[in-house]
Amino acid sequence: MIISVASGKGGTGKTTIATNLALSLKQTQFIDCDVEEPNANIFFKAKIDERKDVTVEIPIIDDEKCDYCGKCSQFCTYNALAVVPSKVLVFPELCHSCRGCGLVCPKSAISWGKRSVGTIEHGVVDGVDFYHGLLHVGEIQTIPVIKALKKKIDKTKNVILDAPPGTSCPVIETVGISNYCILVTEPTPFGLHDLKLAVEVVKQLKIPFGVIINRDGVGDKKVEHFCQSEKITILLKIPHSTEIAHLYSKGIAFACELKEWDDEFKNLFHKIQEEIKK
């Protein structure tokens, strides 16, 4: 089973839930898809034993063949190409590697090169098969790195995908493959606003989902009222706890230190299994 953990906004405790769930279950695969700012390994402390470069294709212009007709730049929606007198300018960071410019070029003047946009790293710790991706500084396209991570999914294991925050393309790319999505929120007006956006996304993707309320007690009951009115399952409530916050600040998954929470996350997994069967 593939379980994604997402949130409409950052800072709700998405990675906290994902890491605690994986460490409670053991023998799982954990993939941190928040490639712009991966932080799950703060809690796993996995020793990295493998690194792989993630590359994308970019166009290379043959100046001897090119007649500077401009069809390639006219085609490119992302403005990765600009034709000036006697030169085609290529902006690699904007290229989405669709190869469309090569299809429309009447002179077959475009070939393809590779450039690195990030890396994926692997390690194993406490029975958890750990992967995360790291987008190179200055890059703007996270999708190629997320796709490279998804190719590492082991379908013989239970897989936890830690999604990026928000509701944009990287989130959709991550959760789209999952059998179930956990939406993590907080009981505040901001938490409710962004939860509503996340709920709409998973409904459009037709993925079964439930909600975990983190830092329960800091705000109001409007998140609970929303879930009740929309008939959304509240899977778990995690209280606003000094003890949990203290462990978090030291990079310790609280389910590893507090037996009752280890049991809670095991029960969470069984509850998800039951939700999928409905």
Residue 8, pLDDT above cutoff 90: no
Helix axes 259-277, 14-25, angle to 10 degrees: 90
What pLDDT shows up at residue 109?
Answer: 97
- The pLDDT confidence band at residue 45, using thresholds 50, 70 and 90, is very high
Percent of the chain with pLDDT over 90: 95
Delineate the domains of the chain, giving CATH numbers in brackets.
2-54+117-277 (3.40.50.300), 63-108 (3.30.70.20)
Residue 278, pLDDT above cutoff 90: no
Report DSSP state, residue 176: T
Cross-strand partners of 161: 4, 31
- Rounded Cα distance between 98 and 118, Å, is 19
Three-state secondary-structure class, residue 90: strand
The DSSP annotation for 66-131 comes to: -----HHHHH-TT--EEEETTEEEE-GGG-----HHHHH-TT--EEEEEEEEEEEEEEEETTEEEE
Average pLDDT, the chain: 96
- Rounded Cα distance between 276 and 208, Å, is 7
**Cβ atoms within 10 Å of 136's Cβ, excluding its own:** 14
Report DSSP state, residue 160: E
Place of tokens 């190409």: 81
What does the pLDDT look like over 149-193, one tens digit per residue? 999 999 999 999 999 999 999 999 999 999 999 999 999 999 999
Q: Are 3 and 21 in contact (CB under 8 A)?
A: yes
Token representation of residue 67: 């007649």
- The pLDDT confidence band at residue 219, using thresholds 50, 70 and 90, is confident
What pLDDT shows up at residue 224?
Answer: 96
- Rounded Cα distance between 116 and 261, Å, is 41
**Cβ atoms within 10 Å of 241's Cβ, excluding its own:** 16
What does the pLDDT look like over 97-122, one tens digit per residue? 999 999 999 999 999 999 999 999 99
